[in-house]
Amino acid sequence: GGATSHAAILAQKFDLTAVVGCTDLIFHYDEEKPYATIGRKEFYEGDQISLDGATGLIYSGVCSITERRDTF
């Protein structure tokens, strides 16, 4: 589902992290060693990725973060 899906709303309500609307993310459980793919890239348990919740971009590895402070 997307940002307004039941799962997304519950995650927000209970202050949980959730990834929604990532249609390119596919989990492969039937393999001897389960893995996930995003596009043509394979990710295995222990691999690190960074997700940008604002843009939907996915990065291989760990990215540094910057907190945005809105000034209204």
**E strand residue ranges, 1-72:** 25-28, 35-38, 41-44, 49-51, 58-60
Question: Is residue 44 a part of any domain in this protein?
Answer: yes
Domain, as residue range, for 34: 20-60
Question: Is residue 1 a part of any domain in this protein?
Answer: no
The domain tally of the chain equals: 1
Question: Is residue 13 a part of any domain in this protein?
Answer: no
SS3 (DSSP) at 26: strand
- 25 contacts 13 by C-beta, under 8 angstroms: no
Taking the C-alpha atoms of residue 28 and residue 42, their distance in angstroms, rounded to an integer, is: 10
Question: Is residue 30 a part of any domain in this protein?
Answer: yes
pLDDT of residue 18: 82
- 54 contacts 66 by C-beta, under 8 angstroms: no
What tens digit of pLDDT does each residue of 6-59 get? 988 999 999 988 888 788 889 999 878 999 998 899 999 999 988 877 777 888
When pLDDT is averaged across residues 48-72 and rounded to a whole number, the result is 80
Taking the C-alpha atoms of residue 45 and residue 19, their distance in angstroms, rounded to an integer, is: 17
Question: Is residue 31 a part of any domain in this protein?
Answer: yes
